[in-house]
């Protein structure tokens, strides 16, 4: 049964979501700064015993095939790279949200995490391959968080898939699931996610991606290239067959990305292959280490 929510109710829903852990929150702040140093990440992880243990578990998982047990956190982080540390911190802190079954989209538990992880890898590759002057790690984090609003409104969309799809086909511009969400629930997943971004005090760049990843042309000019990178990453994830259920491929692709991102068709193909390979490795490392999201 679809339920309409108003602004006050949305605030209540957001308030009920646990805050990110202080170290996950700080990690997102540090890595959003393009001039940050890996040492800052290492020092932060060292202040969090739980995160340290998780990172060591992941590096020593079968996925990385280390000959000897790694016990040094400095070595582990240098080897794994910041994106894996960010995934572990966010997964630990908000794993329940990412692992939630999205019944309103007819998606199974874990589908959101898989979609986000693939969008994150793709967004990072888009930035790396197009030579954009943006931190690749920031693009990764933004990809990881872009659809978090779906976890907030999914319950209210329950049983609405047929209705949502019918609404889209009546729209003048097809393939816009956002409009259907908004009509049915009162908010779309980008608006709901943006409220959570504010509550979590995420850096502005990340909040902007969450809010405009389906309408990148509306993003603040300062962050627009990053928003376009995640917009592409999101579409690459969906094209690869990893959406979040009923809404997959039911969004507009903004061709305006070409003004910000220069990619040859070959590069796009390579990115899709990289996404497959990296995703498998990350998935394996998380499941080996008991990281079930």
Question: Rounded distance, CA 168 to CA 86, Å?
Answer: 35
Residue (112 or 282) nearer to Fe ion, CB: 112
Closest CA to 257 of 203, 222, 213: 213
Applying CB under 5 A, what is the total number of residues that bind Fe ion? Answer: 2
Contact 236, 272 (CB under 8 A): yes
Q: How far is the CB of 239 from Fe ion (least distance, A)?
A: 12
Closer to Fe ion by Cβ: residue 57 or 175? 175
| Cβ 35 to Fe ion shortest distance, Å | 29
3-state secondary structure of 124: helix
Report the C-alpha gap between 138 and 129 in whole angstroms: 15
Is 147 a binding residue for Fe ion by CB under 5 A? The answer is yes
Q: Mark 221-250 with x for binding to Fe ion (rule: CB under 5 A) and - for no binding.
A: -------------x----------------
DSSP 107: B
Minimum distance between the CB of residue 63 and Fe ion, rounded to whole angstroms?
A: 25
Q: Name the minimum Å distance from CB 19 to Fe ion.
A: 23
What is the b/e burial string over 5-38, where b = at least 16 CB atoms within 10 angstroms of the residue's CB?
beeeebeebbeebeebbebbbbbbebbbeeebee
Within 8 A by CB and 6+ apart from 74, the residues are 42
Judged by CB under 5 A, which stretch of 66-74, 96-104, 143-151, 221-229 contacts Fe ion? 143-151
Q: Which is nearer to Fe ion, 203 or 245 (CB)?
A: 245
Please identify, among the stretches 11-19, 92-100, 127-135, 147-155, the one whose residues bind Fe ion according to the rule CB under 5 A: 147-155
CB of 48 or CB of 106, closer to Fe ion: 106
Please report whether residue 92 would count as binding Fe ion according to CB under 5 A: no
**Residues 106-112: contacts with CB under 8 Å, at least 24 apart:** 106/161, 106/245, 106/246, 107/243, 107/244, 107/245, 107/246, 110/293, 111/242, 111/243, 111/244, 111/245, 112/147, 112/150, 112/151, 112/244
Residue with Cβ nearer Fe ion (70 or 144): 144
In the bound state with Fe ion, the residue whose beta carbon lies nearer, of 48 and 191, is 191
Piece of 35-43, 63-71, 91-99, 141-149 that binds Fe ion (CB under 5 A): 141-149
Based on the shown chain and the rule CB under 5 A, indicate whether residue 82 belongs to the binding site for Fe ion: no
Using CB under 5 A, list all residues that contact Fe ion: 147, 234
């Amino acid at each position: 049964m679809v339920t309409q929510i108003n602004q006050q109710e949305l605030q209540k829903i957001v308030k009920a979501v646990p805050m990110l852990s202080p170290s996950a929150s700080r990690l997102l702040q540090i890595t959003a700064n393009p001039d940050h140093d890996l040492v800052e990440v290492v020092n932060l992880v060292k202040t969090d015993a739980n995160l340290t243990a998780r990172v060591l578990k992941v590096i020593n998982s079968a996925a990385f095939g280390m000959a000897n047990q790694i016990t040094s956190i400095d070595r582990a982080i240098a080897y794994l790279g910041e994106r894996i540390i960010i995934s572990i911190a966010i997964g630990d802190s908000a794993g329940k949200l990412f692992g939630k079954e999205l019944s309103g989209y007819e998606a199974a538990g874990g589908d959101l995490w898989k979609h986000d992880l693939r969008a994150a890898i793709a967004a990072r590759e888009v930035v790396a391959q197009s030579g954009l002057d943006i931190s690749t790690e920031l693009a990764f984090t933004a990809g990881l968080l872009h659809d978090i609003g779906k976890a907030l409104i999914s319950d209210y969309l329950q049983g609405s898939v047929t209705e949502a799809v019918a609404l889209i086909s009546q729209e003048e511009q097809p393939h816009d699931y956002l409009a259907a969400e908004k009509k049915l629930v009162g908010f779309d997943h980008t608006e709901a996610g943006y409220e959570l971004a504010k509550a979590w005090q995420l850096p502005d760049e990340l909040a902007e991606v969450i809010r405009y990843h389906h309408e990148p042309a509306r993003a603040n000019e300062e962050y627009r290239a990053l928003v376009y990178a995640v917009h592409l990453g999101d579409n690459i994830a969906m094209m690869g067959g990893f959406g979040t259920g009923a809404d997959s491929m039911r969004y507009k692709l903004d061709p305006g990305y070409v003004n910000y991102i220069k990619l040859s068709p070959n590069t796009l193909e390579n990115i899709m292959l990289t996404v497959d390979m990296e995703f498998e490795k990350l998935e394996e490392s998380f499941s080996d280490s008991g990281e079930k999201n």
